[in-house]
């Protein structure tokens, strides 16, 4: 049986809350993410995605397949308090967003704490943002079709 987020909360009796040390948070987040991913449908084929490296920062680019080359552009930085989250944890949501907006979305996979200290994650975000601005200016949003 596949559960929606609301059904999962009802089943658990509350919204899943993560607690403990940063290592505990990461383990809980990954366990919850894996459980939800196992129930998820395959990625929406109407949205293309591909992984790139933006001056050292991994990014994933999403674009609706049938869209024109001139679309609005969004840069996405996942939540998680700079301790949890990655490209895969936000994949389904960003596919929905790119398809229904429609727009090109670039999601950045910045380094996480506590392994990396502040301001590393912020610097990664700025690096990815600058790369997106440069690349999309030079290529007029055609990055995904290479």
At 12-32, the pLDDT tens digits run 777 778 888 888 888 888 888
**In this structure, how many other beta carbons lie within 10 angstroms of the beta carbon of residue 6?**
9
CB 39 within 8 A of CB 47: no
What domains are there in the chain, each with its CATH number?
1-40 (no CATH), 44-145 (3.40.50.1820)
Please list the residues that pair with 64 across neighbouring strands: 47
Whole-number pLDDT of residue 3:
60
CA 71 to each of CA 17, 18, 43, 116: distance values in angstroms, whole numbers, following the listed order: 37, 37, 21, 34
Q: What is the pTM for the complete model shown?
A: 0.81
Residue 131 confidence (pLDDT) above 80: yes
Residues 6 or more apart whose CB falls under 8 angstroms from that of 51 comprise 58, 59, 60, 61, 87
Whole-number pLDDT of residue 144:
46
pLDDT > 70: percent of the chain? 89
Give the mean pLDDT of the chain: 86
Choose between 49 and 26: higher pLDDT.
49
């Amino acid at each position: 049986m596949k559960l929606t987020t609301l059904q999962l909360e009802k089943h658990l009796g509350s919204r899943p809350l993560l607690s403990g040390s940063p290592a505990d948070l990461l383990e809980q987040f990954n366990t919850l993410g894996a459980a939800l991913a196992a129930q998820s449908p395959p990625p929406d084929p109407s949205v293309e995605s591909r992984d790139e490296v933006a001056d050292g920062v991994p990014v994933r680019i999403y674009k609706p397949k049938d869209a024109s080359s001139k679309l609005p552009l969004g840069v996405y930085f996942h939540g998680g308090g700079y301790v949890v989250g990655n490209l895969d944890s936000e994949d389904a949501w960003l596919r929905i967003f790119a398809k229904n907006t429609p727009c090109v979305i670039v999601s950045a996979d910045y380094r996480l704490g506590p392994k990396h200290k502040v301001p590393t994650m912020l610097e990664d975000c700025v690096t990815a943002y600058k790369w997106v601005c440069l690349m999309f200016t030079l290529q007029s949003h055609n990055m995904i079709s290479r």
